[in-house]
Amino acid sequence: MTTERYRKYFAISWDQIQRDTRELALRLAGNEYKGIIAITRGGLIPAGLIARELNILWIDTIGVSSYDHMEQRSLKVLKTFSAEVGDGEGYLLVDDLVDTGSTARLVSEMLPKAHFVTVYAKPDGAALVDDFITEVSQDTWIQFPWDMGFSYVEPVISRFGKENE
C-alpha cells in the first residue's frame, strides 16, 4: 500500500468528501464567481458539489496528469481551459488535494488571479492555495472514494478458525 514516501493512510468516504466540500462551499458563499475550473480528475467531484452549493452553472476543466497510482511523475497538461477565462480573475479553481504543490504551481501560473481552493492540503503545498478544509501530514496517502470499491471483509473471528462454533 505505501511507498517510502507514504507511511500513513487516510481513507475518505463519500459522506466525508461531501461534508468537507460543503464546508468549503460555506466558506466561499457570499463571493461572486463567474464559473469554476476543475483540475481533473480529482477536482471534478468537489467542483460539482461546490457548483451545486453555490448555484454556479459554468464549469470548465483543466487536465493535468501528475500521478501514476501512488507515485508522482512529471507534469503534463492534457487539456486546457476556455480562452474566455483569461488569467482566472473572477473564477474559482478547484482540486481535491494539494500535495507537493507541483500541479498547484503549474495551474496557478496559468491562472494567477483565480481563487484556488482544495478540500485537503499537505504542508508542502498548503501555502499555494487560497483555502482548504483539512490539512494532512506529508507522509499520508489519501485514498479518495472514487478510487475505491466496496468489497466483502471477513469477520475478525475467521482469522482464528472459529467462525462456526
Task: Show me where the domains of the chain are located.
Answer: 8-160
Q: Catalytic: which of 87, 99, 130, 139?
A: 99
42 is in an annotated binding site: yes
Residue 147 catalytic? no
Candidate CATH numbers 3.40.190.10, 3.90.580.10, 3.40.50.2020, 3.40.50.1100; the one for domain 8-160: 3.40.50.2020
Lowest mean pLDDT, pick from 105-119, 122-136, 143-157: 143-157
Which cell numbers in the block locate residue 115? 481563487
| Model confidence at 40: pLDDT above 70 | yes
Amino acid 118: pLDDT: 98
Amino acid 153: pLDDT: 80
Cα separation, 107 vs 129, whole angstroms: 11
Q: Taking residues 101-108, what's their average pLDDT?
A: 95
Which pTM value belongs to this model? Answer: 0.84
Lowest mean pLDDT, pick from 13-22, 77-86, 118-127, 150-159: 150-159
Cα separation, 112 vs 134, whole angstroms: 23
Q: Catalytic: which of 20, 68, 96, 147?
A: 96
Local structure of 146: helix, strand or coil: helix
Cα separation, 111 vs 109, whole angstroms: 6
Cα separation, 63 vs 74, whole angstroms: 14
Find the radius of gyration of the CA atoms of the chain. 18
- Given pLDDT bands bounded at 50, 70 and 90, which one contains residue 70? low
Cα separation, 42 vs 118, whole angstroms: 10
Residue 15 catalytic? no
Residues 118/98, Cβ–Cβ less than 8 Å: yes
Residue 99 catalytic? yes
| Model confidence at 2: pLDDT above 60 | no
| Model confidence at 3: pLDDT above 60 | no
Percentage, residues of the chain above pLDDT 70: 91
Q: What DSSP character marks residue 80? A: P
Q: Taking residues 77-106, what's their average pLDDT?
A: 94
Cα separation, 34 vs 140, whole angstroms: 34
Residues 33/56, Cβ–Cβ less than 8 Å: yes
Q: Please identify which residue in the block is written with the cell numbers 475518505.
A: 12
Residues 89/114, Cβ–Cβ less than 8 Å: yes
Residues 44/147, Cβ–Cβ less than 8 Å: no
Which residues, 6+ apart, have CB-to-CB distance to 27 below 8 Å? 131
- Given pLDDT bands bounded at 50, 70 and 90, which one contains residue 1? very low
